[in-house]
Structure 1
Amino acid sequence: MPRTLLTADTHFGHKSMLSPRMPRPRPFETIEAHDDALVVAWNKAVRPDDIVWHLGDFAHKCSLEYAASIQVRLHGRIHLIRGNHDHGLGDRLRWAGPVVDVQRIFVQDPGMPRRQALWASHYAHVTWPHAWHGDLHIYGHSHGSIPATSTSLDVGVDCWDWAPVTLARILERMAGSPATVSQV
């Protein structure tokens, strides 16, 4: 049975991610080493039949051909939620479904006691639809700079050893995080 994994901010082909001027420069010598390491980590975490929701910034400042050459190396059926760097390039790649800006995702993975609804966006939200009815919020964009809460979490590769993450691991990290702010 396929699992659902989530990720964001791979930034394939984006050389500036390695710059010491970045708030959190990535620890790779070259963009090729970066991209190869992320592909290896991805394929170690994701099986070929798994579903992957990529929450934006798949690739940037590289050619369509280069981004597509990375994409075909990745396991799973990949969906894209558009990030700020996906306008143009990300929109032109082939995905498992239409590119969207936000998406309510329902996950029922093997071993999970119940189906979980997730509000997925590239950007962190203070509140989201169904927040007070059990939906959890997952996002990217912040590269780990926004602390997790018991209901909201960054799923970007910077936070998860460069790889997509399962809902079980997300729930485990959320359980150890502080509660969210009071209802608005």
Structure 2
Amino acid sequence: MTRTLLSADTHFGHKSMLSPRMPRPRPFETIEAHDEALVAAWNKAVRPDDIVWHLGDFAYKCGLNYAASIKARLHGRIHLIRGNHDFGLGDRLQWAGPVVDVQRVFVQDPGMPERVALWASHYAHVTWPNAWHGDLHVYGHSHGGIPATRTSLDVGVDCWDWAPVTLGEIMARMAEAPATRSSA
């Protein structure tokens, strides 16, 4: 059965992600080690026939050929929701569908009784269409800086051991989160 997974903020080729000046520097010696670790984690989580929604910042500050060579090694049929670093480079890669800014994605996870509607965006939203009717929100961009709630969650690789995640994993983490973000 084909599964749907989600991910964000891989930043393939983006050397600055390793800089100690970053709020959350990634723990890799080189960008090549970073990229290889993310490819390995991706391919361990994703089967060739799976669908993956990448919620932005796929690659940055690298050449088109490099980004395309990384993408060609990744399992799954990948859709891109544009992030702030995808203008230009991400827009020029070949995806499983058109590049969009936001997308309502319906996911039927194996073992779940019904499909779930996700409002997917690169950016975290305070509210979103159908939020009061059961749609959940998934996003990237914050690199783990925005706490999860029972209805909204960061699916970026910084939060998930560098790999895309399934709806079951998302729902389990949301279930453990507070109902709303504190307004401290």
The amino acid across from 1:6 in the alignment is: L
SS of the equivalent of 1:29 reads coil
The amino acid across from 2:40 in the alignment is: V
Give me the whole-angstrom Cα distance separating, in 1, the residues matched to 2:11 and 2:113: 34
Partner of 2:136: 136
Question: How far apart are residue 112 of structure 1 and its match?
Answer: 1.2
Would you say 1:53 and 2:36 are equivalent positions? no
Partner of 1:21: 21
Give me the whole-angstrom Cα distance separating, in 2, the residues matched to 1:55 and 1:158: 13
Cα RMSD for the two superposed structures = 0.6
Give me the whole-angstrom Cα distance separating, in 1, the residues matched to 2:24 and 2:63: 24
Partner of 2:71: 71
Give me the whole-angstrom Cα distance separating, in 1, the residues matched to 2:177 and 2:59: 30
SS of the equivalent of 2:137 reads strand
Would you say 1:10 and 2:13 are equivalent positions? no
TM-score by length of 1: 0.98
Partner of 1:90: 90
Q: How does 1:83-122 map to 2 (within 5 A)?
A: 83-122=83-122
How many percent of aligned residue pairs carry the same amino acid?
A: 86
The amino acid across from 2:137 in the alignment is: H
Residues 94-142 of structure 1: CA distance to partner in whole angstroms, max 9, x if unpaired? 0000000000000012111110000000000000000000000000000
SS of the equivalent of 1:53 reads strand
Higher mean alpha-carbon deviation, 141-150 vs 106-115, is at 106-115
SS of the equivalent of 1:72 reads helix
Residues 17-39 of structure 1: CA distance to partner in whole angstroms, max 9, x if unpaired? 00000000000000000000000
Give me the whole-angstrom Cα distance separating, in 2, the residues matched to 1:99 and 1:114: 27
Partner of 1:173: 173
TM-score by length of 2: 0.98
Equivalent residues, number: 181
Structure 1: gaps of 5 or more residues: none
Partner of 2:151: 151
The amino acid across from 1:144 in the alignment is: G
The amino acid across from 2:64 in the alignment is: L
Give me the whole-angstrom Cα distance separating, in 1, the residues matched to 2:80 and 2:22: 25
SS of the equivalent of 2:73 reads coil
SS of the equivalent of 1:137 reads strand
Partner of 1:30: 30
Give me the whole-angstrom Cα distance separating, in 1, the residues matched to 2:112 and 2:75: 22
Give me the whole-angstrom Cα distance separating, in 1, the residues matched to 2:167 and 2:157: 15
Give me the whole-angstrom Cα distance separating, in 1, the residues matched to 2:65 and 2:8: 20
Question: How far apart are residue 180 of structure 1 and its match?
Answer: 2.4
